[in-house]
Structure 1
Amino acid sequence: MAENRNEPLAAWMSEHETSAGELADAVNDAIGSFAGRPGATSERTVFRWLSGENRWPQARQRRALEIVTGLPILALGFVPRGKSTSEPVLPEDPDVHRRRFFGAAAGTAAAAAIPISPTAARPTRVGTSDVIRLRDAVETLVAQDAERGGHGLERAALDGAAEALGLQRRATTQRIRHRLFALASDFTATAAWSLIDAGRPEGAGRHLDRALMLAGLAQDSEMAMQVWNLRAMLARQRKEYAEAIASAQAAHATAIARRSPLHASLAHARTAVAFAHSGDARTAISYLGRAEDALSKADLAQPQATWIAFYGPAELHSLTAIVRDVVGQPAEAEAASHRALAALPEAYRRNRAHTTARLALAQLHQGDVEQACDTSGTVFTIMEGAPLRGRMRQLLGDFQRDLIARAPSASIAHEWTDRYRTEWSKS
């Protein structure tokens, strides 16, 4: 019956892009990890769980589901038979089993890298469990980047890509092989982003070329768009604005951008930034309007791929601030920066610091020198305990140069430099 449908399990499968057959395979592998031989869960069994026809799996399947998902069985929408039924106590927390089964290192935000060991003990069969484990590793890297920047992520990301490529040779199905190629692309693009964020463009282009090739092997337009988005950012960083425009437009031409308003909005916003830096203010503002219109049609409640989770109203406001400031509209840029800061999730510390630096520039460009100096100083407070990445340093360098050019007296610029020299050196 429709009212008995297991929505929590369906939501988990949707978020992790896992089919009924793949979940069955992962459950069977998990059973093998603690029972000595794989289980016999079928695709039909998973369909019965989803429909609510089977609301309480067998004990081994319950334990395996907790290992695969990292969630308690009740959180997955299952209901014990009868009020007196009590769930057997597992010898360890499900998360512990899951980490052991998948071999994924959880790490902490302070870790310099996420170890992904190709030599760890794994089932000889390569299937959905490996895809989920590697996706968890990507998500951990992205979360670390959002919190403190991409310091040290390049090596960990490339290790993840190498493992995904090694596993795809033993994939059980073509679908699993494609997903492993997509993960290798995702890891490689993450490595490229680490270099872009560090202000080291020399190696990023090589990583992006490889990531785009892997996305093609995966037949994954989502990963292809991620690469074109990063290539637009890299080209702008190199001041190659014609390439930045072309890359952003290539991102918009991907299949995912044609069917997803969220992805289309990001592509339009990235195009607006590129046109602004190229000196075409009218076209830049036009593309901002397209980005806003597309975002208004996006369902922001839908699960999204990890790489684009950063994008939403806050990021669009932030990109709007860049465009407005570059085209000579600093008051509008300041307003957009304030809107971005109000909408940014707390976890996006690096983004908050970057937007705050853009706010300081907008204030400076309006002649509010003292306010701009105070605002820019909060960047160091926001990022306290974490290194300032090259891209952030370049932005603060832009602020310092503009301050020297616009300050009513040289002493103000010297005071700002003296005040923050220590914080800058600690980073």
Structure 2
Amino acid sequence: MKANESLAGALGEAGLTQAELAEAVNDYLRSLGRAGTVSDRTVRHWLTGKTRWPHPRQREALEAVFGCPAEELGFAPPAGRCAPHRTEDPVRRRHFLTAAAGTTAAVVPLVAARPYAVGTSEVIRLRNGLDALTALDAAKGGHEALERAALAGASEALELQKRAASQRIRQRLFSVAANYTAQAAWSAVDARQSDRAQAHLNRALYLAGMGNDPVAELRVWNSHAMVANHRGDFSQVVDAGRAAQATTVTRRDPLFASLAHARTAIGHSKVGDRRCALRSLGRAEEALANASTNEPRPSWVAFYGPAELMAITAVVRDVIGDAAGAEASSHRALAAIPEQFRRNRAMATLQLALAQLHQRDEEQACATAGQTFVLMGGDPLPGRMRCYLGDFYRDLTTLAPDSAVAREWKDRYRSEWSQTG
């Protein structure tokens, strides 16, 4: 008897226990007017491989909960029996994200609100939507359409929590709403709309508390630190980083502790505290070295790992005056940042250009900064990136005020630089 590793992986990715999966399947069955009789024992039989091919109604419910065919969940029909032909894709029944004009996600329920009590399956559906928005942000950066889509997802979660089947489901829906609101806040941060971002973050922190979700709390404090950085309030960057360190999830998962220490390091560097900045970087490295790569985590934190820590190290080292160290860290970051994180690669490239410029290699710096536009593929640049490009050009004209390379760089990229989302 072989264990069903595919189902176990899907269960871990969704963050569900065996009891919660049983509840989600029963929710779906009851929504169709059928008896929900799946128990922990039923799920255990699926996971151990004792049940290799659940009966049709259970398979339909599993496909609806996870949004994929039963075969992809590790199930197989008995020898000699073919899998039934599907006339409707379960993904189409359950997913609720669609693309507008082929580029921007918008939250649109594909199923009408139902009068029955809301259960785990709705939580999973909304979480799938969060994953899609996170992927869009990683590719294109923050923009208003993404922000609106995230706020719509938060509104739906809050409406559904009014009909939650239990207090646990209500808390999970508050948690989902907190993460959608934090996603909207991050989109505003990336668009350099600090006032809007701050309002969203305040709301997200309240919802995270209602959902008893320390991971969402850390996510909010991480973005708080970035807003404070944009506003030039660097002592608040340190305070927000320390608040992130104080969340309970940092004691449970070293990866989150590493992110909190890295964000604090930026604040220390900006207030001119070199010693504390390097100490925080050291703690971030130590924590990350102890982090498991197999731990199930929400999709929003997928950006963080050794590559992102190297990118943050480059920022810190450049600020404290170690431009050569910043350049080396930038190269290491770019060698490791996954291709799908296009915006992050562009930001790391821009940091590399700044490090080269601060070593008075103006021509190489300009060539490197020009790659930012190539990486973004002609898409409008997020406001945060345009501001950093402005920082680059300001430093360029300060260090080489009469250089032809500065004039050429500005003339060449003026139109792309000025595009807005």
Q: TM-score under structure 2 normalisation? A: 0.95
| Counterpart in the other structure of 1:237 | 230
Distance verdict in 2 for CA 1:410–1:38, change over 3 Å: farther
User: CA–CA distance in 2 between the matches of 1:406 and 1:292?
Assistant: 33
User: CA–CA distance in 2 between the matches of 1:357 and 1:108?
Assistant: 30
Greater mean deviation of Cα atoms: 17-26 or 388-397: 17-26
Instruction: State yes or no: 1:128 paired with 2:120.
Output: yes
CA contact (8 A) 1:6 1:49 kept: yes
Report the alpha carbon displacement of residue 322 of structure 1 after superposing the two structures with TM: 0.2
CA contact (8 A) 2:157 2:176 kept: yes
Identity %: 53
CA contact (8 A) 2:97 2:105 kept: no
**RMSD in angstroms over aligned alpha carbons?**
1.9
* 1:356-407 Cα shifts (integer Å, max 9, x gaps): 1100000000011100000000111111232111110110001101110112
CA contact (8 A) 2:215 2:249 kept: yes
User: CA–CA distance in 1 between the matches of 2:223 and 2:110?
Assistant: 28
* Equivalent position to 2:15, from 14, 17, 20: 17
CA contact (8 A) 2:94 2:110 kept: no
CA contact (8 A) 1:29 1:123 kept: no
Report the alpha carbon displacement of residue 118 of structure 1 after superposing the two structures with TM: 9.6
Distance verdict in 2 for CA 1:182–1:327, change over 3 Å: same
Distance verdict in 2 for CA 1:128–1:253, change over 3 Å: same
User: CA–CA distance in 1 between the matches of 2:415 and 2:112?
Assistant: 43
Structure 2 residue identity aligned to 1:18 = L
CA contact (8 A) 1:109 1:148 kept: no
CA contact (8 A) 2:98 2:105 kept: no
Report the alpha carbon displacement of residue 141 of structure 1 after superposing the two structures with TM: 0.8
| Counterpart in the other structure of 1:27 | 25
* Equivalent position to 2:365, from 351, 358, 372: 372
CA contact (8 A) 1:353 1:379 kept: yes
Instruction: State yes or no: 1:91 paired with 2:87.
Output: yes
* Equivalent position to 2:311, from 315, 318, 333: 318
CA contact (8 A) 2:27 2:120 kept: no
| Counterpart in the other structure of 1:260 | 253
| Counterpart in the other structure of 2:52 | 55
* 1:72-94 Cα shifts (integer Å, max 9, x gaps): 2222122322x212211111233
Number of residue pairs aligned between Structure 1 and Structure 2: 419
Distance verdict in 2 for CA 1:211–1:345, change over 3 Å: same
* 1:325-349 Cα shifts (integer Å, max 9, x gaps): 0000011101111111110111101
Alignment of 1:234-383 (within 5 A): 234-383=227-376
Distance verdict in 2 for CA 1:117–1:86, change over 3 Å: closer
Instruction: State yes or no: 1:45 paired with 2:37.
Output: no
Provide structure 2 residue ranges, at least 5 long, that are not aligned to the other structure: none
| Counterpart in the other structure of 2:179 | 186
Structure 2 residue identity aligned to 1:92 = E
Structure 1 residue identity aligned to 2:332 = R
Distance verdict in 2 for CA 1:180–1:105, change over 3 Å: same
| Counterpart in the other structure of 1:78 | 75
* 1:105-161 Cα shifts (integer Å, max 9, x gaps): 243794434223498344632011110111011111111000001112221111111
CA contact (8 A) 1:109 1:147 kept: no
User: CA–CA distance in 2 between the matches of 1:188 and 1:94?
Assistant: 28
Report the alpha carbon displacement of residue 211 of structure 1 after superposing the two structures with TM: 0.8
* Equivalent position to 2:2, from 1, 4, 15: 4
Structure 2 residue identity aligned to 1:62 = R
Structure 1 residue identity aligned to 2:133 = L
CA contact (8 A) 2:188 2:196 kept: yes
Report the alpha carbon displacement of residue 39 of structure 1 after superposing the two structures with TM: 4.2
SS at match of 1:388: coil
User: CA–CA distance in 2 between the matches of 1:234 and 1:284?
Assistant: 19
User: CA–CA distance in 2 between the matches of 1:203 and 1:241?
Assistant: 19
Structure 2 residue identity aligned to 1:89 = H
CA contact (8 A) 2:257 2:284 kept: yes
Greater mean deviation of Cα atoms: 114-123 or 416-425: 114-123
Which portions of structure 1, spanning 4 or more consecutive aligned residues, are displaced by more than 6 angstroms?
none
User: CA–CA distance in 1 between the matches of 2:412 and 2:178?
Assistant: 43
Distance verdict in 2 for CA 1:344–1:117, change over 3 Å: same
Report the alpha carbon displacement of residue 426 of structure 1 after superposing the two structures with TM: 4.1
CA contact (8 A) 1:22 1:127 kept: no
CA contact (8 A) 2:258 2:283 kept: yes
User: CA–CA distance in 2 between the matches of 1:114 and 1:366?
Assistant: 44
User: CA–CA distance in 2 between the matches of 1:66 and 1:15?
Assistant: 15
Report the alpha carbon displacement of residue 26 of structure 1 after superposing the two structures with TM: 2.6
User: CA–CA distance in 1 between the matches of 2:239 and 2:329?
Assistant: 26
User: CA–CA distance in 1 between the matches of 2:264 and 2:117?
Assistant: 44
User: CA–CA distance in 2 between the matches of 1:117 and 1:408?
Assistant: 55
CA contact (8 A) 2:98 2:108 kept: no
| Counterpart in the other structure of 1:67 | 64
Greater mean deviation of Cα atoms: 196-205 or 312-321: 196-205
